Chains A and B, each alone.
Chain A
């Protein structure tokens, strides 16, 4: 059995990518299992998904703790300790990072002990679509290639999964083309099979009563939504082109995080400390006065206070 753990931000397509790999393996007659894990916050929050493929029945469930392959959709996740992207990594784990850096540079920059391979999927996706869209097909393609799954299986899986999401035919076609080129371009690192070691019995432990200061579920996250900054969740930031804005307030209405306020001249003001980059405002703006720019290249890079 081989196990693949995907890490992305809500909305980037990690979950769909894990399904693409599961379906591709299934179509090749392998046994497969895929499952996502995500928290209360959606778009922009760290998300992971696990896929297991093999020749024998799969007798595991849930999050993969010791992955054979880790696929990272967003390099900003590596520095985010809550995302735990490198958990369970060993020398023999293959790691893929979506980054503009080369494989060697990425390994050094992110200090990853395993075998690292890299490709700028975001750039390839932008060139194909001209706007930031989900990376599910490219991520799935890279994983399929590293696992040695066939190009036709990938093609059928992408077509099937994206059709399930309700995407129009034309968009699926472009995703198929993109998936094919990612499949061809990724530098190959073979993914080894997990050795099936017999687990040792675990000693059980019954906790004793502890005083309520310790034993109550009062996790002292001494913060609230305003204090908890989510600017680091962004890959793309919405940027205002003021002379196109007609002051209709729609962006203000649609922002799910309520981080757009309107000035007295009816211009939107975005709180970048809390804007998670979901791009809903960009999509809803009737005059295209809001545009998405790459966080690292365009309007600047956000830093936590």
Chain B
């Protein structure tokens, strides 16, 4: 394969570099740090003409990013996990200002307890902020999605910030071949940012995001954000077509794998979808008609594409790499609601929770998923949430608890 070996983090930095960003307010956090380091170095040595500023926290970082974008600059920043949550308050402001910046999130499970490996409770917590969300499966897709993200964000029909998500460790520090697109072609795909309406500047005092104090203007502006996000579906289609023409790689809002004659379909997102594909191949080898649907764009919610891909299937299994305590999986709820209005909806929807905190999903677990989907499809009744957690893992856990209790201070 052509290209060069590159981590997902470096691919993200390359995305920002090729997009020709003007301003990068930054704050490091594991496992995102490498992105910030690469950009700092490039700005320092003159490889990138952008202004790089180290901020004191993610909260200031996001504020600076929003204000910078409101001047009409092309802005890039990145964070992860607790950092995203620290910036959370500002996410809603920035989206409400309708400034088209790009924020990369390197998914990492949220404390407590602390782990550095990923699940998606961080990024999904932000799904209603007004940011669009693209979730990448490969390092190449990380880079490409950043270019597409600017193209979509800066379109007059959209003008919303975009979050590009990649999984910590499974992509952030994983090297795989990445083709760095030709800068001239990138310039053709992503023309310079010339916003018609952004012109925030120090010399002309102007209140941004002032209080409207009243539900009527609030409703109007919030609904405009919704319409803008829905417009992004069409803009994504156009951007994807241009991207394919120039670079030969195609990205849709959802991606199907061996769906054509599939009876049962596994729905996944992000880096573990690669393992999902392998599981589909394994099940196919055993004669099972299974396929995979990967959710790539989570906001706007690609309802039509999901219905089209899942219509008439026997069973659907949604693997949520997140856990909403007191509910179960997050994405399965959105999938179920989306399918409900379709008269040819699948007979059964199963919910699986796995890969929490980066926990591996073994081949055997995928086997179990396929078997349970088949069972549910035959019975015409879904199940879940089913936790992907094995007996062997539980034995390991019990040992850890013995160790922990032996070292407890209170005994």
Interface residues of chain A, those whose CB is within 8 Å of chain B, are 39-40, 206-213, 215-224, 226-227
Contacts and interface: CB of A to CB of B under 8 A. Distances in A.
A227 B197 contact: no
| Secondary structure class of chain A's binding surface, majority of residues | loop
B224 A207 contact: yes
Bin chain B's interface residue count. 20 to 34
B237 interface: no
B402 interface: no
Given A209-B227, A216-B224, A227 B97 contact: no
Given A209-B231, A212-B98, A216-B197, A222 B206 contact: yes
B228 A209 contact: yes
A40 B206 CA distance: 18
Interface in B357-401: none
A262 to B, nearest CB: 26
Contact of B213 (A39, A213, A218): A39
| Secondary structure class of chain B's binding surface, majority of residues | loop
A187 B296 CA distance: 71
B1 interface: no
25 contacts: A39-B211, A40-B213, A207-B223, A207-B227, A209-B157, A209-B227, A210-B224, A211-B156, A211-B196, A211-B197, A213-B197, A216-B98, A216-B159, A216-B197, A216-B221, A217-B98, A218-B197, A219-B207, A220-B206, A221-B210, A222-B204, A222-B205, A222-B206, A224-B207, A226-B205
A212 B197 contact: yes
Nearest to A63: B214
Contacts of A206: 223
Contacts of A216: 97-98, 159, 197, 221, 224
B224 A215 contact: yes
A217 B205 contact: no
Given A212-B159, A219-B210, 5 more contacts: A210-B224, A216-B221, A217-B212, A219-B207, A223-B206
B205 A223 contact: yes
4 closest Cβ contacts across the A-B interface?
Answer: A215-B224, A224-B205, A216-B98, A209-B227
Contact of A217 (B156, B213, B221): B221
A218 B208 contact: yes
A22 B231 CA distance: 49
Contacts of A224: 205-207
B66 to A, nearest CB: 12
A207 B98 CA distance: 17
Contacts of B207: 219, 221-224
A125 to B, nearest CB: 29
Interface in B261-294: none
Contacts of B213: 39-40
Q: In this complex, which of A208, A212, A213, A220 has the most chain B Cβ atoms within 10 angstroms of its Cβ?
A: A212
A224 B204 CA distance: 9
A220 to B, nearest CB: 7
Contacts of B221: 215-217
Q: In this complex, which of A211, A217, A223, A224 has the most chain B Cβ atoms within 10 angstroms of its Cβ?
A: A217
Contacts of B211: 39-40
Contacts of A222: 204-207
Contacts of B156: 211-212
